[in-house]
Chain A
Amino acid sequence: MNVQSPNISRDRRVISQLDEAAVNRIAAGEVVERPASAVKELIENAIDAGASRVEVAYASGGMSFVEVSDDGTGIPTAELPLALSRHATSKIDGSDLLNIHTFGFRGEALPSLGSVARLSIETRFWEEDTGAAYSVEGSVATGPKPCSRVRGTKVRVADIFYATPARLKFLKSERAEAKAISDVVKRLAMASPKVAFCLTDRTDGARKLLDVPVETGALPVALAARLGRILGREFTQNAIWIDAERDGLQLYGMAGLPTYSKGAAVAQYLFVNGRPVKDRMLTGALRAAYMDVMSRDRHPVAALFVECAPELVDVNVHPAKSEVRFRDAGVARGLIVSGLRHALADAGHRSSTTISGATLGAFEPERPQAPVYQMETRRVPAGHTAPMPGFAEASMLSGRVEARSADEGSYEPEEGLSPSTLPLGAARAQLHENYIIAQTTDGMVIVDQHAAHERLVYETLKTRMAENGVAAQVLLIPEIIDVTQEQIAALEAIAEDLARLGIDLERFGGNAVCVRSTPAILGEVDAQAMIADILDELEAEGASVGVEARINAILSRVSCHGSIRSGRRMTADEMNALLRQMEDNPMSGQCNHGRPTYVSLKLADIEKLFGRT
């Protein structure tokens, strides 16, 4: 029989070794995806070379060229050809791939760049008297020849992918590529506050996009200054410093207050041993940490650094080194979740300053369209169909504020209720049956009574649930759910946590689990869908918060019903009691949806309104 399949092509080649240029081009595809990846590799080389200033320039989104120069050690003239051959590196000796202290370790970046672009290097090794220039185009190298460079190295990568036009097609618009470059520079600059960075777009003329000096001071100070320069002052003012440690892993950085959030996960910067990473496990942990204080459609802002001994984390799992694998992912996740939660709890009373900024803006008559970052336009309280009146009209409209202060006496602080000792001050008035105005030592506080009370009720319910566990409803007909071997193992690994949440399950034959009970509070549940959700989460984030989130959502609904409504008049005693409870409760600064429960205005701000500064 010799019937030929129609798919067989007649011109099959004999097996032969690919030439070096082809091999390099294939490898390059993994390292160099777009101009931004070239920038990343070059900056990392500069930092590895001990640079204290890195200058980056590009034109046409990096498609025409990218260029990185530094003031580091430089490359010895004799080593230049070697620097451009594959698997040649000065950073490790190959004996211990687990102990890496530099960004680079593969000796792959420069040869890869050299095979997809026109690469030229000018360098001056710090112990040599003259500079050297070297360039590669295709597989043809020119040099080294002398040049006039005084210090450090400058690498230029021009006409990227000129040799592989197919890859060019995958590039996005110039603008998108330029954005990717600036993103890379920003991320690396965040991780190295002791290095100055400068980014210039030289498409036409020279446009400076970023210029940050070497930051001074100890690490927290320097890092905070750097983050402020790159992410904006607003971020650092609305963020808290994180510092936590667990089992040899250290976590530090800054995390935004829940009231300072974004609509998408765009401002989350995670670093492992100084390396910017985009890691599902870590972003999942970040989300889990904020789960309670932010609604699901908001996203936290954070720049977090995890440091550990190099052997605890494998950075060699992704060609662009953007993913990492911790030896113990559970510890890393736990560190982030608990580190952030504790810090957030401590900061529960700091509502974002952009809010009071916005409030002030709203007060100021000459700036009617002040930027409002967080304040949600609240619905008009029941009983008022007209749009919310301004402050001045308020007392006229309800008339109750005055009436009450007349018959109950004004809200003078009671005995022992001096504002000086109380962060949220003493209640002075209630406006529109929903807002409590309290006087503090250095200003005033406006509390949304419904949101605040709802949060308090929610916290109590949650504590109670944590203390007593979740009641489980045993099922009449246990649900048998088909899953894979690995999924069974994953579920068994968290069986104890699940039991705590009311879910009892056990292995059922080789490829199924049997669910015997579900959380009673959820009523009748689709166990199949619930397990599927848990498995999805386990896979995506290494842990599952879904069931807990669902239970919390119900608690939150219950607490909404059980709390003081807007529109209820409160006595002075009641208001003060609420303020005191809020002070006692670390999480009372935001409502269950991440909106602030109160805003504070400093006396200085109020004085500014009246031009008294």
Chain B
Amino acid sequence: MKVNIERSDLLKAMSRAQGVVERRNTIPILANVLIEAEGDSVAFRATDLDIEVVDKTNGMVNQAGATTVGAHTLHEIVRKLPDGSQVELSDDGQSGRLEVKAGRSHFSLATLPKEDFPIMATSEYASNFAVPAPTLRRLFDKAKFAISTEETRYYLNGVYMHSADGPDGKTLRCVATDGHRLAQIDDTLPEGAEELPGVIVPRKTVGELRKLLDDDDVQIAVSVSETKVRFSTPQITLTSKVIDGSFPDYARVIPAGNTKRMEVDAAEFAAAVDRVSTVSSERSRAVKLSLDEDRLILSVNAPDSGAADEELAVAYADEPLEIGFNAKYLLEIASQVDRENAVFMFNTAADPTLMREGSDASATYVVMPMRV
């Protein structure tokens, strides 16, 4: 194998590859990236057995072939090469080395046989459809803060992607929850997604997917089966197993009968929450919301270090209410609001609270109160 690649192309491909490769590996081959040169492109393939990413980059292939080499080392090398350099990768197929040349630098890296590299089995996809990158970006970005990190509840360790009945017809919906808060984000169901089976996309996959979504003009091809999900652009294919478990019946816990409505500027609200919670040094800082007509008082009382309160002008016309929340949770949901005001719907101090972005019903957030 002998190929020449632009350093910037190689860097992009390698940074995607090393994102998938686990830092610590007990199976040596999994620390490697599989490089396959054929025609006029070079494919870089990396896997952790649950996720596989294949990145096809343009390159001048002088001699077709394939080999595997340590992903982190190659990535580091390419990162440190000067911008604009041409990188030559060559492997004589016998010495067990990959020669990396760029300008006057030369590296000789140990390889492992390409035959040992595990290739993820292909799947029969039940549903294939295309979504513009910005749409997918919104669906996952707004949901992912609520993903659970508690490993025993593995079925919450991802984003539940499925089709659902929204207020204006069928939607493509992403939901995440950690049992303390929940995010439910909708978009119109794309053509071809009617048969979409509900899948839980693991947290790590969500992170890797994000790297495919930066370009606004790209259409992402999505394929879903009961066990796998695949996202691809013309250049990159990300395939991942989905979490084998059933996502809880979240619709039940989204309150429908909350009547006390508060509307507040999201940025102002977040800034105020952040300010008052400074006085508490506890890990779970509790902020109390006291609502009265068109007035919200945020307060924190940390008996040892002090107390703080701040008054905000809000739109509120219901009976007075006092309710406590974890400051971090409030900050995280408030930061999901981009343009509109945040609209909170309360019931009692012990019931779930709902939050929406203005009148937009396509994003719903639920947060549970704290009893102090």
Interface residues of A (CB under 8 A from B): 460, 464, 467-468, 471-477, 502, 504, 517, 520-521, 523-526, 528-529, 554, 558, 562
Q: What bracket does the count of chain B residues touching chain A fall in?
A: 20 to 34
Q: Mark B74-101, 1 if CB is under 8 A from A, else 0.
A: 0000000000000000000000000000
A65 to chain B, nearest CB (A): 57
Selected from B179, B250, B372, the residue in CB contact (under 8 A) with A475 is B179
Q: Does B369 contact A (CB under 8 A)?
A: yes
**Of A473, A475, A524, the contact of B150 (CB 8 Å cutoff):** A524
**Chain A residues with CB below 8 A from B326, complex form:** 473, 520
* Chain A contacts for B182, CB-based, 8 A: 476
Which of these, B178, B180, B303, contacts A467 with CB under 8 Å?
B303
Our pick among B177, B282, B371 for the contact of A517 (Cβ within 8 Å) is: B371
A467–B304 alpha-carbon span in the complex (Å): 11
A-B contact pairs, 18 of them (CB 8 A): A460-B304, A467-B303, A471-B284, A473-B180, A474-B370, A475-B179, A476-B181, A476-B182, A502-B371, A520-B370, A521-B282, A524-B150, A524-B179, A526-B150, A528-B152, A529-B152, A558-B281, A562-B281
Contact of A473 among B153, B281, B304, B370 (CB under 8 A): B370
CB distance from A524 to the nearest CB of B (A): 4
User: Is the pair B369, A474 in contact by a Cβ cutoff of 8 Å?
Assistant: yes
- Tell whether, in the assembled complex, residue A520 and residue B179 are in contact, meaning their CB atoms are under 8 Å apart: no
Task: Give Cα A502 to B369, complex, Å.
Answer: 13
Closest to A558 in B: B283
A residues in contact with B283, CB < 8 Å: 521, 523, 554, 558
A524 and B177 form a contact (CB under 8 A): no
| Smallest CB separation, A482 vs chain B (Å) | 16
Whether B152 pairs with A520 at a CB distance below 8 angstroms is no
Partner of A476, one of B150, B179, B350: B179
Say yes or no for B366: interface residue by CB 8 A criterion.
Answer: yes
Point out the residues of chain B lying under 8 angstroms from A528, CB to CB: 152
- Which chain B residue shows the least CB distance to A520? B284
The DSSP consensus for interface residues of chain B is loop
Contact in complex: A524, B148 (CB < 8 Å)? yes
B180-A476 in contact (CB<8A): yes
On whether the beta carbons of A475 and B368 are closer than 8 Å, the reply is: yes
Contacts of B371 in A (CB 8 A): 471-472, 474, 502, 504, 517
The 5 closest A-B pairs by CB, nearest first: A520-B284, A472-B371, A526-B152, A524-B150, A474-B368
CA distance A477 to B176 in the complex (A): 13
A477 to B156, CA, bound (A): 12
Residue of A nearest to B352 (CB): A476
Q: Which residues of B are found within 8 Å of A562, using beta-carbon distances?
A: 281
Q: A520 to chain B: which residues have CB within 8 Å? A: 284, 286, 326, 370
Given known contacts A473-B180, A473-B284, A475-B368, A524 and B253 CB-to-CB distance under 8 angstroms: no
* A477 and B177 contact, CB distance less than 8 A: yes
Whether A524 and B370, one on each chain, are in contact in the complex, defined by CB atoms closer than 8 angstroms, is no
Which B residues from 236 to 295 make CB contacts under 8 A with A? 248, 250, 253, 281-284, 286
* A residues in contact with B303, CB < 8 Å: 464, 467-468
In the bound complex, do residue B149 and residue A524 qualify as a contact, i.e. CB atoms below 8 Å apart? yes
